[in-house]
Chain A
Amino acid sequence: MQPASRIMEGADEAPLLSLRAITKTYGAVEALKGVDIDVHAGEVLAICGDNGAGKSSLIRIVSGAQEPTGGTIALRGEPIRLRSPQDALQRGVATIYQDLALAPRLSIAQNVFLGSELTRPVLGLPFARLLDKRRMAEEARGYLQRLAIDVADMTTPVERLSGGQRQAVAIGRALRWDAELIIMDEPTAALGVKETAQVLDLIRRLRAEGRTVILISHNMADVVSVATRVVILKSGRKVTEEPTVGLDADTLAHMVMTGKKP
């Protein structure tokens, strides 16, 4: 079988994100023991593994929430350090955290523009800028429409939305940053069947827009349904990396448990 990267588009270009020999230790615990992963533009890469496999540590490193103990990160071929989530966002890497991403009582527009609100000058004064609520509402609506989510009122508090709509709001924030690489941490973990389908559809739409997605998931059916490639971690090491073509959920579950194909 060919290495996955050969069959991806743009294989002759540098990977969008390249992780080399990434290690992370917490005191005496080695969460990551030298992981190499390439993420190619336009793919949906699933990262799977049992609890304690190192998924969360890896995500925290790529999202800028933590720096690795060792190893290098390159974005579009250029070595970088991600010092904070803000740093990662500005480089086009947005992470959507499982439960922490949204402020439930704030509106859709406020959540999409959280931390990066739009302002407009007032009375032509150079330093007096007030929030441009109308433009934020319009643009937030635009992002949600791109994700085929129709909510009438952008001032609706996020707590009144369904689980699928909330994920769309979180993705809307990533679109607002024009993130090229979107990392989604267990986006369907708390959702019902219908909402899960909605979120998987959101991921397909992101891919159709040419964005790259890293999907962390326990749900093997989700993974084979939307991911183009899967990386399996076990005890802090990468044990498998292959395209999802031809894989079914049961085979994948077996691979996650044993690290080998049946």
Chain B
Amino acid sequence: MLLTVNNLSVSFGGVHALHLDHFSLGEKELRVIIGPNGAGKSTFLDIICGKTKADSGEVIFKGKPVLGKSEVQIAELGIGRKFQKPSVFPELTVYDNLLLAVKTKKDIFSTLFFKVSPAIAERIHDVAARLQLNTVIYKQAGALSHGQKQWLEIAIVMLQDPTLMLIDEPAAGMSDEETEKTGALLLELANTHSIIVIEHDMKFVEQIANHLVTVLVRGKRLMEGTFEEVKNDQRVIDCYLGRTNAQLETL
């Protein structure tokens, strides 16, 4: 297993945001996590990538414990993250955004005297082309459309070349056509990377969920199975069809 999570729990101000007994992900597996709002999906990714500190539990990545490590150490281990709200460098050009992401030495002196080699330039342009950013590559990232920003962030994660990609709602704010393209790209990436995707859009989930889907509800794992199993599970349907509120209120 590439990633193993046991008894992970975190609470904010007394409210359990996440209480996950077990979660595991294999090499080159694409896992989709779904669940209603506040289910703790993003919090789960935040803990893996070091943004949020867990209260207890363990996260093992490539046989090494992840909890307690800094964001940089986790990134160096090979975990890349795309956030729900596109997080790019708005005042830099798309090219510079990508240049910073490329996997090279990232200490002060190497950056101070860094020269772009033809290989790197080629890689940047290559990735940009795959995400249709080549036409805007010298534009400021802040001037891009929402969908383009999403792609730019995916491109940044790709150039980091991580073993595990954590992708939070990649299709939000995209047209149907763009969504489908994103799905195709993720499936392609899954040939070489392990990926966890959080998504709401069921059509999109259906497109990319070629393996397992995990359902989180109120911080706990409700079930895990193929898309078909999940789609037909009564508890999942309940969660998505209004009874959630009634249940929440009784709690």
Indicate whether A and B interact: no
B residues bordering A, Cβ < 8 Å?
none
